[in-house]
Amino acid sequence: MTYPSILSDLPELPLAESFALTEAYNLDTFPEKVNLGQGVYRDEECQSWVLPSVRSAEEFLHQQHLNHEYLPIPGAAPFIKEAQNLVFGPQLAQKENIRSVQTVAGTGANHLAALFCARYLRPKNVFISDPTWDNHQLIWETAGPGIERKLYPYYDPSTRSLHFDGMTAELENSAEENDVVILHACAHNPTGIDPTQTQWKKIAEIVAKKRLFVVFDSAYQGFASGDPDADAWAIRYFYSTFFGDASLSTSAIPAGMIVCQSFSKNFGLYGERIGALHLITPPSVSPWGAYTHLVRLIRSEISCPSLFGARCVHTILTDLDLRSKWIEDVKTMASRIQSVRTSLKSELENIGAQGDWDYIERQIGMFSYTGLSKIQVHRLKQVHHIYMLENGRMSLSGLNGNNVAYVARAIKDVVDRH
């Protein structure tokens, strides 16, 4: 006997592309297969790398005989303090209008930000870069179903550079007061193209004039350039310019700001799911009411965040030797990514691949936005067993001295054919 159910009408949904790619790669038995899809750091052997600073912190913590009690709902206070110091710098982090909570990595921070904005800010639109990290769309689709998701131009395929005029024109012409704009703090995913400091200042002027609410997604601080302070420049500029001085005219201040901070890439703590959300209110507005609503949302979703990864980050950032070791670790990661950029560009040029490949070196961070079409990406997978996202995003840490020439020849093949 069968029983009708409304659940029978639900269609089967495909697995998220990056996870489906990894699954397909793992099932592939071809000996020269290459995984350029997953956004995780790999060492020169293309193996998972535990940062030496993290390994030292783990060994220290395991000697302390610590308990596994629940954290408070907002998270571990010592960790949150160091997260604030890292993203804002110690001086700005002391400001009263910054209130922070621990989250389930950067994804959890973005989801909490979307929930908070949808419920309490009630924007008409959220502006998302075109292209962007695919989860931005899904997060806002599920957390803010009544909010229109609009794309602002970001990538110019003709120049393989930032479409700055299109970006600013869209915000100028279409954004309304209290609308949300999502900005990538550094190492834009997937393009690897960031605004210059001059361009950031212009973006900030528009955001303030239109009284928009800014959500910074900061997933790569330190990992992008090897310098955590340099990678936090845009966030600190926005705060110092608009939120740090109560004497500013209210007409020149954005509606507010949230920073979504991840420790997955820069600490290699992918599976520990460690992140933070920082809420910034205008200097004349108390953040405490909004903060309590953030805490309430956390209680309803996860009760309280995870413990061990937060202890690792706190241990590293408060120990001078471990912090110094961590800085060297992020420099190591940034340097290796830059070196494979140079190697891939050189290989493509040496074998006479059609096109100008300089953009590979100009981009920054984990990814290269190759400009390859879906047809070309499909051929790379089917013929050459090289896996990357359909939009042409290549995760560079999957390259090393043993496979870069093979990948370059494969790219030449698909470019020559299409």
CA distance 205 to 252: 8
User: Residue 292, Cα to own-chain centre: how many angstroms?
Assistant: 26
* Contacts (Cβ under 8 Å, ≥6 apart) of 202: 164, 168
Is residue 66 a contact partner of residue 58, using CB atoms and an 8 Å limit? no
Select from 299, 258, 296 the least CA-distant residue to 277. 258
Structure tokens that stand for 414 in this block: 């698909």
Beta carbons within 8 Å of 88's beta carbon, 6+ residues apart: 95, 98, 232, 235, 236, 239, 278
**10 Å Cβ neighbour count for 31?**
6
Q: What residues does 152 pair with on adjacent strands?
A: 129
- CA-closest candidate to residue 383, choices 360, 352, 337, 416: 416
Name the catalytic one among 49, 133, 140, 326: 133
Cβ burial, residue 12 (10 Å; 0-12/13-18/19+): exposed
- Verify whether residue 200 is a known catalytic residue: no
Q: Is 265 an annotated catalytic residue? A: yes
CA atoms of 370 and 386, how far apart (whole Å): 14
Q: What is the largest CA-CA distance in the chain?
A: 72
Of residues 265, 325, 345, 381, which has the active-site annotation?
A: 265
Which is the catalytic residue, given 49, 179, 194, 217? 217
Three-class SS string for 165-180? HHHHHHHHHHCCCCCE
- Look up 133 and say whether it is catalytic: yes
The reply to whether omega before 190 is within 30° of 0 (cis) is yes
- What is each CA distance from 357 to 94, 175, 223, 368, 404, in whole angstroms? 45, 35, 23, 11, 14
Find out whether the peptide bond into 131 is cis, omega within 30 degrees of 0. Answer: yes
d(CA 413, CA 379): 9
Residues in the chain: 418
Residues classed as catalytic: 133, 217, 265
